[in-house]
Amino acid sequence: MVTSHSEAAARPPMASLRRRGPVLERAILDAALEQLSTVGWNGLTMEGVAAGAQTGKAAVYRRWPSKEDLVVDALQAALPPLAEAPDFGSVREDLYQLCRRLRDAMFSKPGCALRSVLHECDAHAAERFQSVILKGVIQPSTALFREVVDRGIGRGDVRTDATDALTLEVIPAMMMYRSKVCGSEWPDGEIAEMIDRVAVPLFRSTGS
């Protein structure tokens, strides 16, 4: 039997039909992340994810019964580790380099996906992502800021009471606000200005 070119083009690749287990799951998670970073939370559909992963809709629903379940797993699998706190010998340079690293994470594909969830989903759906945000973003970034500030206290150029939670939240809160509300992409010059005009005076020791 002769197969026409149009029939061959319509047929899904055989490799996609043979994928099973972790390989197929990884493809689905990657497709969900791609949808989040391009069309956002509101535009993401299970059908679109299935098409992006070159699989059937049933294969997605068997593993994730809802859009929220799928996105939680996609974000958990993709959020990059923030690694160790920078150590350049001064609190100013350490904070600058750390903020550049956070900026890069915010505008990576997983970061864009996470921001689309934060910006677009309603309050009920947002509750599903609180633990992902807390464990994957807030706690690790706060720990890095605390490490930088503690190191500065040890050198004597940061005031000793600068490790309270409110103070440590100022810089990431500014970055998120400017990104979300003002659309800032935080070029290096703006990060440097924030560090010099806000962060350094905020953390500076009275004796320095």
CATH of the domain at 73: 1.10.10.60
65 and 132 share a domain?
no
Answer yes or no: is 48 within a domain. Answer: yes
pLDDT at 207: 58
146 and 197 share a domain?
yes
Answer yes or no: is 85 within a domain. Answer: no
CATH of the domain at 114: 1.10.357
61 and 107 share a domain?
no
- Domain end call among 20, 44, 78: 78
Instruction: Check whether 129 has a pLDDT greater than 80.
Output: yes
149 and 182 share a domain?
yes
Question: What value does the mean pLDDT take over residues 8-28?
Answer: 66
177 and 117 share a domain?
yes
Question: What value does the mean pLDDT take over residues 167-188?
Answer: 87
55 and 102 share a domain?
no
97 and 196 share a domain?
yes
Residue 126's nearest CA partner among 180, 54, 46, 68 is 68
**For residue 138, what pLDDT band results from cuts at 50, 70 and 90?**
confident
28 and 130 share a domain?
no
Instruction: Check whether 148 has a pLDDT greater than 70.
Output: yes
Question: What value does the mean pLDDT take over residues 124-152?
Answer: 88
pLDDT at 5: 42
* CA angle, 89 then 93 then 96, to 5°: 150
Answer yes or no: is 174 within a domain. Answer: yes
pLDDT at 14: 40
Question: What value does the mean pLDDT take over residues 157-174?
Answer: 92
Distance CA 69, CA 62 (A): 11
Residue 68's nearest CA partner among 137, 122, 4, 144 is 122
**For residue 196, what pLDDT band results from cuts at 50, 70 and 90?**
very high
Sign of CA dihedral 111, 115, 121, 123: positive
What are the tens digits of pLDDT across the range 76-123?
899 878 778 999 999 999 999 999 999 998 888 888 888 888 888 777
Answer yes or no: is 143 within a domain. Answer: yes
168 and 116 share a domain?
yes
- Please state, rounded to an integer, the average pLDDT across all residues of the chain: 86
pLDDT at 111: 86
Domain that holds residue 103: 91-203
53 and 106 share a domain?
no
- Domain end call among 78, 99, 116: 78
pLDDT at 197: 96
188 and 101 share a domain?
yes
Domain count, the chain: 2
49 and 142 share a domain?
no
DSSP states along 69-117: HHHHHHHHHHPPP--SPP-SSSHHHHHHHHHHHHHHHHTSHHHHHHHHH
Distance CA 204, CA 149 (A): 10
Answer yes or no: is 101 within a domain. Answer: yes
Answer yes or no: is 169 within a domain. Answer: yes
Question: What value does the mean pLDDT take over residues 30-58?
Answer: 94
Instruction: Check whether 15 has a pLDDT greater than 60.
Output: no
Q: The pTM is what? A: 0.79
pLDDT at 12: 45
**Which of 25-34, 59-68, 152-161, 172-181 bottoms out in mean pLDDT, i.e. has the lowest?**
172-181
Please give the single-letter amino acid code of residue 147. E
Token pair belonging to 126: 């947002």
The residue written with tokens 């593993």 in the block is: 63
- Domain end call among 20, 45, 78: 78
Answer yes or no: is 83 within a domain. Answer: no
pLDDT at 13: 43
